[in-house]
Structure 1
Amino acid sequence: MYDYVKAFPQKPLPDPAKFSRREGETDRLAARRKNADIQAEYNAMTCVALYMLLMSFSQKGIDKLRNFHEHLQMRDPDGELEVSEGFDEGSSSSHACFVVMRVLKWSGSGMTALSWFKDHFIKCHDRAALVKTWLPAQYTGPPTFLDQLVYDRALLLSRTAARKELLDQASAPDECEKLYEESLWCLYALRDDLLQADNPFLDEDRSTISI
């Protein structure tokens, strides 16, 4: 999606609401050019939305790693704490977080995880800032909500995966699987607090996504 917008020749992107037919241009070419303008703008807006969501995810990861590290330092300053067998059989998020951090601590990769979240936050921030400069100078279209963009993206990914799978058009053995996985993560993202702060249908949406 980012590469699609990056490859678009005109920056800032043309505003589809101000589209005008060129002199001597056929109806077919004009319609094709307008559709390309619409797709470029839509993809750019979706890019910004998804990068913002990933920034929120990365920040939460950084916060949880730091909080756990501080908590662990207080409980076990000498690094001798051991977790009893079967502790990770629970399903609560606190148990899951502790298990992940236990693995990170004992494998010596805690700082690697922190660096991973930090690097991804910076990358997403830089990409979002860049794509924003590509948007039409004065956007006059209807307001687009972040959750709708994410949902539409998930739908597009799943449909693309299904089509490639049915027609045997995958360019790699795991392409369809990766598309399905990306679609699923987009749906999970709809449950994020960033998107659902004022959603009156939050419980209904969560039930639908969990089906």
Structure 2
Amino acid sequence: MQSLHACSQFVSASQAARQQPANCIQQRRACQSKLSRSAVAFTSAPRSSVVASGSRRSCIHVKAAAAKVDSKEHLQLATARLPKGLDTTGFTNSLYQWASTLTSSGQNMPFALPIKADKLENGFQMSLLRIKDGRPMSVGDIVANVEQVDEKGDVLFVRFFEGPAAGIDRQGPAPSNPRERLQKNAEALIDVPIIMQTMKVAIQKAVAQNK
């Protein structure tokens, strides 16, 4: 995993994101449009679908599926039902390797914010970073976990969680409703749809490598 960048680089990335809102918004809309038209069966949850409750945790047939979810409120971005017999350890390792390559200050993708990737027991976490109290902190986390679902087998769940630095640069007071606040935070992060768009290809490759 790539190391964190210096604080000055985080500040520069945040400033750059604010200086080019029009391009970033257009880029986000383009990615969302591509996601909706994609031939890859990758089920995206409705943007208003915020859920709360257990553990955060191609032939790819992707379907919505119920599963244990974190007690912390979150937005479910997508689900992917995995083929039987898949080496899930190898699959999650492959996805983590993909996620860690996206932490190179936008050298391979036009990210507005620095990204930090962390390995989880059954998946990975990607944190979008800004400076708070003189140090890099997460604005929002994309958490992907493989979980066992009754009658469905192994399912990859991709969820969005609010980070401790989510209030940075917020215009006006935060919504009092936690779900509304989470929704607005996710919509404000222009990197999220780009990550989700590229994740589809990463899932296909990870499945092919670990059948």
Please say whether Structure 1 and Structure 2 have the same fold, judged by a TM-score greater than 0.5: no
Superposition TM-score, scaled by structure 2 size: 0.26
Decide which structure has the larger Cα Rg and report it.
Answer: 1
Superposition TM-score, scaled by structure 1 size: 0.26
Q: Which has the higher strand share?
A: 2
Q: Which has the higher helix share?
A: 1
